[in-house]
């Protein structure tokens, strides 16, 4: 829908699995979004509880809203206007729930735009999902309805509904995409990416709670992380030889944000200025990606939808650093970016967020 044809009414929003960190971030963004209106934050475990009890930082903007039973989605779907649905359910749990909702919407002739934040529809096929995640896919027949991509790399939504890539994937693919698209580097990307504790979700475990992470850093699943196939899939779409992503994820001692460092073997010698110019040209029309010859700082992007990329090159060696907020750019903000497009709104609507500074 062209931007000048966007209707003035607010689009009703339902969130599936509204009790976790990603959903809490999505609620923060929706609270001030001018074109979306929260109708139902659905959570079996939190039903009936005020939203601000679970997310005290939203007091003053979402007072009066309560978590609803999952059956409350019926009231949201009973409308003659499009409905925006965000699925914030765990991997392996999302597909079946989405299938039921979309079947119900079709039976009621309700138009739904849906963005899934789990991994259930990210990989090319249900068989690929089962190979990586080790469980049976909950709704393989729904794969034809979903596309997966990053807004910066897909000018238009490639499908009726979208699966947003993971936060590690967002940072890494944005760091590698210009090099892959232009054939600037050998198609083997060596990545060290460090994430904050919110990336592990709201439920603490022996490895993720504060005493284990504070003042500490450690690698996990090196060369075997389940998001690497997502990265390779998205980068392969840009052309050239299918890439290999050698990913070494790390747990960092902060709450929010990802810092990714990528080592490139350049095909031809380049200077930092030349590589920076290539990256800047690639992202010229991407409002939320900035490029510099100065390494970015993680604190500058916390609570924003921005990705900052820094370049350094010497001869045939290059280092790309990228920073994002894992909850915003890597999750809730990315989903909202897609939903803006699916609903025909300007893609920046509600996402031009200042950083918090000194976080």
Q: Report pLDDT for 2.
A: 43
Residues 174, 50 within the same domain? no
* Number of folded domains that form the chain: 2
d(CA 247, CA 260): 10
Counting as low any pLDDT under 70, the low residues of the chain are: 1-8
In a domain, 349, yes or no: no
In a domain, 348, yes or no: no
In a domain, 347, yes or no: no
CATH number at residue 315: 3.30.360.10
Q: Report pLDDT for 8.
A: 67
**Domain, as residue range, for 100:** 3-165+329-342
Residues 155, 173 within the same domain? no
Q: Report pLDDT for 72.
A: 86
Residues 292, 256 within the same domain? yes
The model's pLDDT over 158-212, given as tens digits with 9 standing for 90+, comes to: 778 999 999 999 999 999 999 999 999 999 999 999 999 887 777 777 777 778 8
Q: Report pLDDT for 5.
A: 47
Q: Report pLDDT for 208.
A: 73
In a domain, 356, yes or no: no
Q: Report pLDDT for 206.
A: 74
| Residues annotated catalytic, as ranges | 167
In a domain, 95, yes or no: yes
Residues 174, 236 within the same domain? yes
Q: Report pLDDT for 265.
A: 98
CATH number at residue 23: 3.40.50.720
Question: Which pTM value belongs to this model?
Answer: 0.95
The model's pLDDT over 216-242, given as tens digits with 9 standing for 90+, comes to: 999 999 999 999 999 999 999 999 999
Q: Report pLDDT for 71.
A: 85
Q: Report pLDDT for 212.
A: 84
């Amino acid at each position: 829908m062209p931007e000048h044809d966007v209707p003035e009414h607010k689009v009703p929003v339902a969130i599936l699995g509204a009790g976790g960190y990603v959903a809490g971030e999505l609620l923060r963004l929706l609270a001030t979004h001018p074109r979306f209106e929260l109708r139902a934050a659905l959570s079996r475990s939190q039903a009936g509880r005020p939203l601000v009890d679970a997310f005290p930082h939203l007091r003053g903007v979402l007072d009066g809203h309560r978590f609803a039973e999952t059956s409350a989605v019926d009231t949201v779907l009973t409308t003659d206007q499009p409905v925006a649905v965000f699925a914030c359910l765990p991997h392996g749990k999302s597909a079946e729930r989405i299938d039921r909702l979309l079947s119900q919407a079709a039976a009621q002739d309700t138009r739904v735009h849906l963005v899934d934040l789990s991994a259930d529809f990210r990989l090319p096929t249900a068989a690929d999902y089962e190979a990586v995640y080790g469980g049976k896919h909950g709704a393989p027949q729904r794969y034809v309805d979903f596309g997966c991509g990053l807004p910066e790399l897909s000018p238009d939504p490639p499908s009726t509904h979208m699966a947003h890539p993971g936060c590690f994937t967002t940072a890494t693919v944005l760091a590698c995409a210009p090099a892959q698209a232009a054939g600037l580097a050998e198609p083997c990307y060596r990545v060290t990416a460090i994430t904050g504790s919110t990336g592990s979700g709201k439920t603490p475990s022996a490895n993720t709670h504060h005493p284990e992470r504070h003042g500490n850093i450690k690698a996990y699943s090196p060369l075997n992380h389940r998001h690497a196939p997502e990265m390779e899939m998205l980068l392969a779409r840009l052309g050239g030889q299918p890439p290999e992503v050698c990913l070494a994820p790390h747990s960092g001692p902060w709450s929010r944000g990802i810092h990714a460092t990528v080592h490139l073997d350049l095909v031809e010698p380049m200077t930092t200025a030349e590589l920076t110019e290539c990256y800047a040209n690639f992202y010229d029309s991407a409002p939320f990606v900035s490029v510099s010859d100065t390494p970015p700082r993680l604190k500058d992007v916390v609570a924003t939808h921005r990705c900052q990329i820094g370049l350094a090159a010497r001869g045939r060696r290059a280092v790309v650093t990228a920073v994002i907020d894992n909850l915003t750019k890597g999750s809730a903000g990315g989903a909202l970016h897609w939903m803006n497009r699916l609903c025909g709104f300007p893609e920046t609507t509600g996402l031009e967020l200042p950083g918090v500074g000194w976080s």
